[in-house]
Each structure stands twice: as C-alpha cells, then as structure tokens.
C-alpha cells in the first residue's frame, strides 16, 4: 500500500514488450471498470515510447467495443531504449503530470514491470501491472495473459506437422518460442505426444538426444517429433539439426520454426476471461490504494504481488510435468 491514499481520478493504460493474445481484452476491462467507477482513462500508444513522446488518447467504454476477440493490441507495443534512462523516465513522468494522470496500469511482462517499478520509485507515481506474455514466466500468477492462446496455436501446428511426419516417416524438430523459459515447449510436448521436449531449464547434451532418439526409433516408431524451445542450449532447432542429421539420415530430418505465429490470433476463452478479471482487478486495487504491485490469479483467486517480487526471478517449470513428459514419451 502507498503511505498516502490518493483519490484516483484519471489513469493511463499501456501495453509494452512482446504482444500476447488477450491484451485487448485486458485494455477493455481496465477501461470499462474505470468508467464504471467514474475514472477517466488515457490509452498510451506504443508503450513507454508513447509515454515519453506524448501519444495519449482518451478512451471511453464505447471505444473498446468489439476488441475482446482480437489478437495484438489496439494500443500497439514497442520497446523503448530511452525509457531505460532516468532522463527518459523523467519525460514520461512530466507527461503523466501534464495530463493529470494519477496512476498507470502497465500490461506486459517482466521488462514492462521493471520500467513501471522504476518510474514509481523515482517519481512517486502509482503503478499496477497486469501480466501478459506468451512465455508464462511471471511469478504471482498461475498463467499470464496470452499463454493459453499461444499454447493452443503451437499445438494446432504441431499436430499438423505430426501428420506429415508420419506420412513420410520423417523426423521433425519443431522450434517454439521461449527465450529463457520452456513453458510452451513442455506443455506442447506433453499435449502433442512429442518424443522429446528440449527446455532451457534443463541441461541438454546432443549425445543424449541422439541416444534417446535411437532408442525410441529402435522400437515400432517410424517418425518422430522433437519440440525445441528457442532458448534451449542446443542452440535451437536449426543448430540441433546440423548436429544430429548425419546420425538419422534415413529419417530425412526437417526443421519447422513456429515463430511469431504463436503471438498472434484470437485469444482463447480462457485468456479472455483471465484478461477481463485482471483488467478489472487492476483498477480495483489502485482504488484501494495499492501501488507497485502486480495482479494475478492463483488457484482461481485474485492475488496481489509486489512488483519487486514479480521481477525478482522467473517462474519455474512444474517438475512433475517434466517427469510426466519423460514417462509418457
């Protein structure tokens, strides 16, 4: 809680960092919940870049109609080098003051929260974070907005690749997003019945990968599918192919990188509901006097986590799921 509870009359909302499906649903919920409470809302375009360059636009309940089902973000997203500097943050704080904005709701991942936290500390500004990233790597919430949609987009693609892998009796190395964490790789690996899922969190020796694939292919299998997180230490699917193809020449090893397809598309029902809950919750906690916090949902209940905790480390994978993937392959 802040020392002094301010009467919030005007808030700003922005999306920052990598976009994720459901960001629009979160913006809509923030705007509608704030309007209900008689609070004026400014949407800030292009994240922190727009905060520094005064890209403010007033939003009302009507202006967020017909966006809950859309991927991307109507507020656009950007990465701002200038906001990493104190001078940049000073300009941002001056603009917030100029528009009489009392508090900021920042929708994004850990980079977004790190910026918001600094702004709050340096310029005594109230901020609340809403976790939205396909990586699902934020602690203080069971899932981040966009993760479920990205998971299902990736799974749909992997199922299709499995069909063609099976038809041609090939080996496919499918690379999914996840620079630092393997949530998408682990869960798509389990859900698609992949032979292996390679995760940044686990040490991967190429020789072990080869041995495990040889063992599996000795049995009845004629095709195989390996899900590789982009941040896996084998260096990703392209590098892995270079290192294993000579040993599996008869399987005509192929690579498919799913890339940014995982970030787009309509949010799933689960992401829309999560984003709606968190958008409304962010407004509520601001009105209760909280600042420098992130809202999340843990065990189906709203949870408030200090931002400094949310950015202190990455969420860990569930080790029982890692074991399960090994048992079931």
Residues that bind ligand F6P (CB under 6 A): 18, 133-135, 177-179, 230, 263
C-alpha triplet 253, 256, 260: angle, nearest 5°: 165
DSSP-derived secondary structure letter, 266:
P
Residue 60: active-site member: no
Helix 206-218 and helix 237-244, axial crossing angle in degrees, nearest 10: 70
DSSP string computed for 93-136: HHHHHHTT--EEEEEESHHHHHHHHHHHHHHT-EEEEEEB-TT-
Choosing from 135, 148, 232, 271, which is the catalytic residue? 135
Phi, psi of 328 (to 5 degrees): -85, -10
What distance in Å separates the CA atoms of residue 277 and residue 291, rounded to the nearest whole number? 18
Would you list the DSSP string of 197-254? EE-TTS---HHHHHHHHHHHHHTT-S-EEEEEETT-TT-SHHHHHHHHGGGGGGG--E
Q: How far apart are CA 143 and CA 271, in angstroms?
A: 9
CB 113 within 8 A of CB 106: yes
Residue nearest to ligand F6P (CB): 18
Q: How many CB atoms lie within 10 A of CB 213?
A: 21
Backbone angles phi, psi at 294, to 5 degrees: -120, 140
CA 90 to chain centre: 27
Q: Which helix (H) or strand (E) holds 284?
A: helix 269-287
Q: How far is the CB of 300 from ligand F6P (least distance, A)?
A: 25
Residues labelled as active-site residues: 135
């Amino acid at each position: 809680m802040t020392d002094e509870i301010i009467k919030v009359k005007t808030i700003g909302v922005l999306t920052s960092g990598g976009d994720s499906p459901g960001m629009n649903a979160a913006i809509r919920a923030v705007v509608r919940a704030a309007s209900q409470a008689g609070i004026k809302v400014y949407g800030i375009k292009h994240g922190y870049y727009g905060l520094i360059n005064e890209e403010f636009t007033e939003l009302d309940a009507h202006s967020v109609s017909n966006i809950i089902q859309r991927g991307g973000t109507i507020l656009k997203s950007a990465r701002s080098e200038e906001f990493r500097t104190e001078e940049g943050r000073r300009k941002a704080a001056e603009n917030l003051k100029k528009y009489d904005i009392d508090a900021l709701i920042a929708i994004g991942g850990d980079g977004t929260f790190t910026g918001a936290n600094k702004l709050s500390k340096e310029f005594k500004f109230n901020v609340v974070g809403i976790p939205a990233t396909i990586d699902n790597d934020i602690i203080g919430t069971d899932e981040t907005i966009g993760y479920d949609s990205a998971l299902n987009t990736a799974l749909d693609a992997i199922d299709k690749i499995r069909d063609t892998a099976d038809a041609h009796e090939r080996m496919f190395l499918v690379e999914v997003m996840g620079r630092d964490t393997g949530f998408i790789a682990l869960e798509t690996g389990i859900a698609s019945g992949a032979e292996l899922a390679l995760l940044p969190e686990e040490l991967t020796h190429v020789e072990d990968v080869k041995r495990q694939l040889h063992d599996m292919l000795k049995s009845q299998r004629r095709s195989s599918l390996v899900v590789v997180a982009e941040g896996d230490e084998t260096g990703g699917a392209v590098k892995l192919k270079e290192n294993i193809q000579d040993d599996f020449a008869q399987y005509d090893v192929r690579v498919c990188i799913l890339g940014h397809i995982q970030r787009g598309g309509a949010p799933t029902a689960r992401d829309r509901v999560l984003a709606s809950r968190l958008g409304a919750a962010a407004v509520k906690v601001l009105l209760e006097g909280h600042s420098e916090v992130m809202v999340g949902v843990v065990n189906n209940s709203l949870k408030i986590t200090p931002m400094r905790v949310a950015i202190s480390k990455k969420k860990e994978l569930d080790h029982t799921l890692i074991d399960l993937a090994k048992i079931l392959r």
